[in-house]
Amino acid sequence: MSARAVSDGRGAKPVVGLGRFLALQWPMVGASALSATIAAALALVPFVVVAKMATAIYAEPPRLGELRSLALVAVVALGVRYAFVAAANMFAHVAAFRILHELRLRLARKLGAVPLSFFSRRSTGELKKTLMDDVNQVEAFVAHNLPDGIAALIVPISTAIALLWTDWRMALASIGAAPLAIAAMAIAMRDAGKAHEQWNGIQDRMNASLLEYLRGIHVIKTFGLSAQRFGDLARSSEEGLAWMEGFMRTNGRGYGVFGALIGSSLVVLVPVGGWLYVQGTLSLESLVLFLVLGPQLLTSMLRLVFAWGNVERLKTGNARIREILSSPDLEGPTSDARPAHDGIAFRDICFQYTDEGRSVLEGVSFEAPAGKVTALVGPSGAGKTTLLRLIPRFWEPTSGVVELGGVDVRKLPLDILLSRIAMVFQDVFLFHGTVRENLRLARADATDDEIMEACRAAQAHDFISALPQGYETVLGERGARLSGGEKQRLSIARALLKHAPILLLDEATAFADPESEARIQEALSTLCEGRTVLVVAHRLSTVVTADHIVVLDAGRIQDQGTHAALLARCSLYQRLWADHTDALDWSLGARVEERLASAEVA
């Protein structure tokens, strides 16, 4: 990652790229690199000892007494080497997991600070890959590749200098195949960056396909689509296999040539060294030293190649991490103004989900008075839910202003804004945890009695008590153990528990069964008392007593007023009301036949 500063999502000192995270842990990273370098250097000691042993054995007369002390030196060197290897691993892993912890926290804070439009442009699979795979790749690089890479760079250079000092001719023979090996590797890696981008794109599609398959498994089974959807998942996996096969066909030869050349130094060292020894210009000790140590000089290049390959893979993942961290946060407060009341006003609101998409809202202006109930009605796709989501700044309007108590919501600190709002939406989300933990999300300091009181008011206490462990029952992922209506009632209980002065309701009784709907409506009536309420409802009978009704169609306001006034003058509201009352009389089979008969008469 580059050193370009990005916000950490908390308005604190900006953070920078991976270099900044490494700098924060540089003492640990440096200690690991130093330990790895010493360990790698100590690994060469046995090769030097072997050369001296050969000299002692073939000396005239043989100096066999030296063998024991030389062997002891080799054993001690290996023991100390393993101690430094352990130290290098310890320092590297501590640094890596500290970086991993900090990086995940920064990403989590950033995702909590960006607007929802950020998520509309990215798939869940893509974000999962960044937060898990790309971050884990950073950890693996710091824990393993960085110390090894530094050691793989320092030790060969030091060894080459030592061998040049011993005999420059044999040193050149030791690295004679290096230029050819480097050329072969350069050819093999000429398109490595592009190839890694392709591979990351394939992995994104594989992640998206897998998540979609798992999340939609009940729909897949319901419609008998298992073969088809599994086929989509299988095709994405086959795409990855095809890429790997093609990559190895294209680049495998280069890697093979590189490996062969790296291991071929003895082919040059043996004849050259033998000739120089016979000529009397190279000692036996130097000959043995080059024969055992010379091949290690090129073999260490493999570690550099692996480290370089990991750096290339890291670049793409770091770019995605940097993209998230550099994404703009929601606009922060620009004044110290505080709402004078809890009324909400929309001033000439326009909204598009994308820059080039159609307008979802166009010139919407109305007021929801403090302490009153304002209902939003209209056909599906009219923009009702979108309007509600603009108030807590889940989305930002393309133009126009949303006001709370006479203050632009963008000028209010987000925590103050959200503390005044309770929400009950159709898409209820419950975390994997107990019932009590999910309810305390509304108010962490709520007592058990307050929780049960809220659940009784939301008609949820009875079914919670019937669960295996009552309020301590673990609900499972996304509340998998509950029905849609039960989730809805828990959501209402959370809203009750928050005691916020503003209430946003989006089809709050959408999943309620007929038996509990009337009770929930009664609970909501109590909840709405004295609060500013904006409610979206398709069943118009639930909002006929609202203080103010706004009729929307295709993102524009068609009319607004009371139920009686709209029923007298608004054609769209009249049609919606007629459809609603007609639906109440509908019965399966008989009503369809009547409609068909009416159509034939017409």
What is the tens place of the pLDDT at every residue in 333-391?
A: 666 778 888 889 999 999 887 655 678 888 899 999 888 889 898 888 888 888 988 88
pLDDT higher than 60, residue 599: no
Sorted by where each begins, the domain ranges of the chain are 18-177+263-325, 344-573
Over range 450-475, report the average pLDDT.
85
Give the integer Cα–Cα distance in Å for 83 and 448: 55
> Of all residues in the chain, what percent carry a pLDDT higher than 70?
69
Number of residues that make up the chain: 602
Could you count the other beta carbons within 10 Å of the beta carbon of residue 519?
Answer: 14
Structure-block tokens of residue 36: 């790895």
Q: What is the dihedral of CA 330, 334, 337, 338, to 10 degrees?
A: 10
- Higher-confidence residue: 397 or 525? 397
What are the pLDDT digits (tens) for 162-206?
Answer: 777 888 887 777 776 667 766 766 666 666 666 666 666 677 677
Q: Which tens digits make up the pLDDT trace of 316-346? A: 777 788 888 887 777 766 667 788 888 899 9
Mean pLDDT of 256-260: 65
Task: For domain 18-177+263-325, give its CATH number from 3.40.50.170, 3.40.1190.20, 1.20.1560.10, 1.10.3720.10.
Answer: 1.20.1560.10
Q: Quick one: pLDDT at residue 402?
A: 92
Give me the pLDDT at residue 354, please.
66
The pLDDT value given to residue 110? 83
As given in the structure block, the two tokens for residue 286 are 């130097």
Crossing angle (nearest 10°) for helices 448-457 and 484-498: 120
Q: Is the pLDDT of residue 4 over 50?
A: no
Provide the pLDDT for residue 15: 41
Which 3 state secondary structure label does DSSP give 5? Answer: coil
Between the ranges 257-271, 311-325, 447-461, 473-487, where is the mean pLDDT highest? 447-461
pLDDT band of 307, cuts 50, 70, 90: low
Mean pLDDT of the chain: 76
* Preceding omega of 61 cis (within 30 degrees of 0): yes
- Please give the CATH number for the structural domain made up of 344-573: 3.40.50.300
Q: What is the pLDDT of residue 312?
A: 65
Tokens 């590189």 found at: 258
* Residue appearing with tokens 């080497």: 81
d(CA 446, CA 439): 9
The two structure tokens encoding residue 246: 């093609």
pLDDT at 123: 67
pLDDT, position 344: 92
The mean pLDDT of 27-40, rounded to a whole number, is: 85
> Does residue 220 have a pLDDT over 60?
no
Angstrom CA distances, 359 to 331, 349, 362, 364, stand at 22, 11, 6, 11
Question: Is the separation of the CB atoms in 6 and 19 below 8 Å?
Answer: no
The pLDDT value recorded for residue 13 is 40
Please give the span between the terminal C-alpha atoms of the chain, in angstroms, as a whole number: 70
Structure tokens given for 273:
């060294």
The pLDDT of residue 347: 92
